[in-house]
Chain A
Amino acid sequence: MSDIIKVKNMCLWYGEHKALNNININIPGKSITALIGPSGCGKSTFLKSLDRMNDLIPGVKITGDIRYKDKDIFDASVDVNELRREIGMVFQKPNPFPMSIYDNIAYGPRTHGIKSRAKLDVIVEKSLKDAAIWDEVKDRLKKNALGLSGGQQQRLCIARALAVQPKVILMDEPTSALDPVSTSKIEELSSKLKKDYTIIMVTHNMQQAVRISDQTAFFLLGELVEYGKTETLFSTPSDKRTEDYITGRFG
Chain B
Amino acid sequence: MYGNGVSKARKIYIMSMRVLMWASVAVTCLLALFMIVYISVRGIPNISWEILSTKPSYLSGGIGILPDIMNTVYILIATLVIVIPLGAGAAIYLTEYASNKRIVAVIEYAAETLSGIPSIIYGLVGMLFFCQFLNMKTSIIAGALTLVIMNLPTIMRTTQESLKTVPQSYREGAFGLGAGKWRVIRTVVLPGCVDGVITGCILSAGRILGESAALLFTAGFAHALNGIFEGFSSPGATLTVALYVYAKEQGEFGIAFAIAAILMVLALVINLSAMLTGKYFKRRRNI
Interface residues of A (CB under 8 A from B): 69, 71, 77-79, 81-83, 86, 111-113
Contact = CB atoms under 8 A, between A and B. Distances in A.
A46 B3 CA distance: 23
B287 interface: no
Contact of A81 (B1, B6, B9): B6
A115 B216 CA distance: 58
B7 A79 contact: no
B94 to A, nearest CB: 31
Contacts of B6: 79, 81-82
A12 B268 CA distance: 46
B182 interface: no
A82 B3 contact: yes
Contacts of A111: 10
A111 B3 CA distance: 16
A123 to B, nearest CB: 15
Contacts of A77: 3
B10 A82 contact: no
B5 interface: yes
Interface string B1-30: 111111101100000000000000000000
B2 A82 contact: yes
5 contacts: A77-B3, A79-B5, A82-B2, A82-B5, A82-B6
B7 to A, nearest CB: 5
Interface of B: 1-7, 9-10
B5 A69 contact: no
A188 to B, nearest CB: 29
B205 to A, nearest CB: 39
A78 B2 CA distance: 8
Contacts of A79: 3-6
A113 B9 contact: yes
A69 B10 contact: no
Among A69, A77, A79, max chain B CB count under 10 A is at A79
A113 B7 CA distance: 8
Nearest to B2: A86
A77 B5 CA distance: 9
Nearest to B6: A81
A82 B4 contact: yes
A79 B10 CA distance: 13
Contacts of B9: 113
Closest CB pairs A-B (n = 6): A79-B5, A113-B7, A81-B6, A82-B5, A86-B2, A79-B6
B10 A113 contact: yes
A78 B3 contact: yes
Contacts of B10: 111, 113
Nearest to A111: B10
B17 to A, nearest CB: 13
A111 B9 CA distance: 10
Contacts of B3: 71, 77-79, 82
Nearest to B4: A82
Nearest to A75: B3
A105 to B, nearest CB: 19
Contacts of A82: 1-6
A78 B5 CA distance: 8
A126 B9 CA distance: 26
A79 B14 CA distance: 15
Nearest to A113: B7
Nearest to A83: B2
A112 B116 CA distance: 44
A69 B2 contact: yes
A233 B6 CA distance: 41
A17 B4 CA distance: 35
A57 B5 CA distance: 22
B184 to A, nearest CB: 41
Given A78-B3, A112-B7, 18 more contacts: A69-B2, A71-B2, A77-B3, A79-B3, A79-B4, A79-B5, A81-B6, A82-B1, A82-B3, A82-B4, A82-B5, A82-B6, A83-B2, A86-B1, A111-B10, A113-B7, A113-B9, A113-B10
Nearest to B9: A113
A83 B7 CA distance: 14
